[in-house]
Structure formats: C-alpha cells, structure tokens
Amino acid sequence: MASIANRLALLFVAITLAAIGVIYMYVVPRLETSLRQEKLRNLVVAARRGAMPIARAVRTEAPGDQLRASVRTAADAASARVTLLRVNRGPGGRLELAPAFPADTGGLRFAAAGRAVRSGGLATGSEEGASGKVGEAAIPIYFTPQGARRAQVGLVPVFSSSLSDVEGDVALIRHRILAAGAIALLGAMLAGFVVARALSERIRRLEGAARRVAAGDFSARFVADQPDEIGRLAEELDDMQRKLAELDSARKRFIATASHELRTPLFSLSGFLELLQDEDLDDETRERFLGQLREQVDRLVTLATGLLDLSKLEAGALELHPERTDLGALVRRISEEFAPVLAGHQSKLEVRLAHGTVRTECDPERVAQVMRILIDNALTHTPPGTDVVVTAGRQDGRVRLGVRDFGPGIPRSMLPRIFEPFITSDDAQGSGLGLAIAHELAERMHGELSVESEPSHTTFTLELPA
C-alpha cells in the first residue's frame, strides 16, 4: 500500500463502493416505500369510486344478488379484490366484523376496516397474507336502520391488492443496481489501475532524474510531458536542476579561484621566509622582505575576511539590524574615513546630497560596508589623481546611493560578471570579493546594486526601499 498506484486504485474502488452503497441504502428503500404508497393511493381512488354503487345498493335495500353484483363490478373496475364486511355490535357495544361477501377472507383480518369503522372515514393499511403483503383501503357505508334516530356504519367494503409486485419490482431494481455496481466496480478498478500506473510511471521518471541529479549528474532532465500538476512539478524540478548545475559550476570555479588566490600569497610567504633564513642578508634587504611579508599577510587577512563574509551571506547566517538612518550623515562619515587613502592616491572625493534629509529604514552598518567597498573599489582600480563623487538622494520612490569615478571604465566583456567572486577588471591588487559581497548585501537588504561604465567614468548605484 506504500505505492501511489495501489492507493489511487484503492481510492477509485472505495469511491465506487461508497456510491453503490449510498444508492442501495438510500434509493432502494425510498423507492419501495414510494411504490407501496402509490399502490395504496390507487386503491384509495378505486375505493372511493367503487364504494358508491355498493352504498347505493345498500341504501336502496337492493336484493342480495344485486349487492354481490355491485361488489364484483367494483372489483373488476379497480382490478382488486373487494371484500364486503358486515359490522355487528356485540355486548357492550363492541364492534365485530364478519364477511358478508365473499365468505372466504383468504386469511386476512382487515385491520384497515376496523380503523375505518372507528374513525368513520376511509382508512388504509397493509398486512401479511397467505401470498405475501397485501395493501388495503376500507371505506365505511352508512345507513339508518328502522327505528334508529341516526345513520350508522353497517357495511365496510375493503379493497385489497397484493403488494408482491412492488416487492418484485424492488427486488428487480435491487439486483440491477448490484449488477451495475459490480460492473462499475470492475471498471473503476481497471480505470484506477490504468490511471495510477500512468501517474506512477511519470513519477518514477521524475524519481530517476532526481536520483541522477542527487548523484551529481546535472545532465538529467525533468520532462514536463503534460500540462498538469506533475507536469508543473517537472518544470519546477527542471528549473531547480539548472540552478543546481549553475551553482555547482560556480562552486567549482569558486574553489579553483579561491585555491589560486590563497596559493599565491602562501607561496610568496614561504619564499620570503626561506630568504629571511639567510644569515648573510643585510638589514635593508631584510626590512624590505619583512614589508613584503606584511603585505602578503594583509592580503591573506583581507581574503579570509572576504571569504567568511561571503560564505555567511550565501548561507543566510548574516543578521540585519534595521533602524531609521540618516543616509546623508552616513555618507559624509564614510567619506571622511577615506581622507588618508585619498591623500595617498592624490584624489578628491566630493559628496553630493539631495535637498532635505535622506532617511530610510535600513541596517546602517551594512550600508556603510557596501559604501566602503564601492569607494575602495573606485580608488583601487583607477589611476592616481582620479576624483570620486558620492551621491545620496531619492528617485522613483527609492533611495539611491551612488559612487562615481572618472577612471578608464570597465571593459564591456567584464560587466556581466563584475559581481562574481574573484573577478577583477584589471591587474590591480585586490581579492575580487568586495563587489560580490556588496551585491549579496544589497539583495539581503531587499535592494539592488547596479553598475554603468563608460571609457571616461564608472558609476555603482545602490538602491534601497524608501
């Protein structure tokens, strides 16, 4: 039963059985009741019509032959048995019913006749006879005996008809329902098996492709063969497979590039340490080697810090602490931090702020980190003396922070990959992680980091929700 095919087939069978059970338990009893009531209604109509000539014969004191003839005529017209009962009053006024015509009652007690006498009106009922259940309709006939002051019930004609045909009809319908139900059940089992097998086959194909992808085979495809739920699932899985393939490719490139980036300073450190072990080195050369060692260590620290930040961002482990922030004040503070670097680079940094205060809900530390990366990137990858402009303002309902340098620009071939790890547009020193970290931070803050570059200038723009 763990198989979806078996469960679907069982579901088809269960639904069919439930439908058959509802029809059998609800429809058949109601049908039998309706047919019996219809038979009794027909008897009532026949009794009302047939009792009139009998009552006329009784009131006119017609001879017995005429009375019996009227009873037969009524029976023939109603296609039913008509039994004429005489009402006798015993001791204490107790009523007794005796057959007047025909004398043979067929073992029936005619309970409906007793109710008709007591109620003074037409009464119906049913009872078990020798040949099965019998329906009855009794109507009292009044006449005034000699010497009596008021009319009283003297005779009761009882119209009776067998209900066995109703039972036969119901039995036939019941058998037909069971036969049709058996055929429907067989059809449901076959249909359920076919449908379930087709669905399970499609799911098995998805399962096989998923198993190949899990094993690292990203050439496996999830084929959406039909536009249904499984087809849409296949489309989503196929999209997931493409993304996993891209992530796997990026991971391999990242590992290869990170290994290369780490290997270079480590080899350099190893080489300088071997040179420093030479006892014949003069102090000037030793000091120069120590400076190179410090530079390589700083490079390793920067690279390790960048890799750690990037891994936290990609893992979603970096927490944000948003608060209401004055971005103008933040930009001015960050720009002042770069005063020593600007002096060494022989460059000027200009801050241009929009009129009014530019405030928004953001994490000021992460926004400051992005701005530091962008300013440092501008100074690192431009020649000495290249000026930088930092802007802050609002546009189209969003906050925009920009860093523009007037350097040689970024080659067009590099622009699509500028935010990938370890991608640099020139041979300048740098880990190639800064822009990747800035891009990830922008996305984490529900913002966007974009770049525009021409041969005479490059602008990085950070957009944040206002």
| Residue 11 pLDDT greater than 70, yes or no | yes
Strand partners, 318: none
Q: What is the mean pLDDT of residues 153-167?
A: 86
At 361 the pLDDT is 92
Report the range out of 250-254, 342-346, 422-426 with the highest average pLDDT: 342-346
At 250 the pLDDT is 67
Residue 261 binned pLDDT confidence (cut-offs 50, 70, 90): low
At 147 the pLDDT is 63
At 61 the pLDDT is 79
pLDDT in tens, 268-313: 778 778 777 776 777 788 788 788 788 778 777 777 777 777 666 6
Least confident interval from 125-129, 149-153, 205-209, 443-447: 149-153
At 310 the pLDDT is 67
Position with higher pLDDT, 6 vs 325: 325
Kindly report the pTM of this predicted structure.
0.46
| Residue 99 pLDDT greater than 60, yes or no | yes
Q: What is the mean pLDDT of residues 139-144?
A: 85
Position with higher pLDDT, 415 vs 403: 403
At 458 the pLDDT is 94
Q: What is the mean pLDDT of residues 37-49?
A: 89
Tokens of 27: 């429809």
Contacts of 344 (CB under 8 A, 6+ apart): none
Element (H, E) at 160: strand 152-162
Residue 330 binned pLDDT confidence (cut-offs 50, 70, 90): very high
Q: What is the mean pLDDT of residues 140-159?
A: 80
pLDDT in tens, 348-389: 999 999 877 888 999 999 999 999 999 989 998 899 999 999
Position with higher pLDDT, 27 vs 44: 44
At 375 the pLDDT is 94
At 21 the pLDDT is 83
Residue 33 binned pLDDT confidence (cut-offs 50, 70, 90): confident
pLDDT in tens, 110-122: 889 988 988 889 9
Candidates 294, 238, 250, 231; CA nearest to 268 is: 294
Tokens of 344: 């060494």
Q: Please name each of the domains of the chain with its CATH number.
A: 4-169 (3.30.450.20), 229-315 (1.10.287.130), 323-465 (3.30.565.10)
Candidates 81, 94, 88, 128; CA nearest to 109 is: 128
pLDDT in tens, 406-425: 999 888 888 888 888 767 66
Position with higher pLDDT, 181 vs 372: 372
The residue behind tokens 């439930």 is 18
Q: Tell me the average pLDDT of the chain.
A: 83
At 284 the pLDDT is 83
Q: What is the mean pLDDT of residues 421-438?
A: 68
| Residue 430 pLDDT greater than 60, yes or no | no
Q: Give, in order, the Cα–Cα distances in Å from 426 to each of 117, 305, 418, 429.
A: 119, 22, 11, 9
Q: Give, in order, the Cα–Cα distances in Å from 396 to each of 197, 325, 337, 355, 399.
A: 55, 19, 30, 16, 8
At 146 the pLDDT is 67
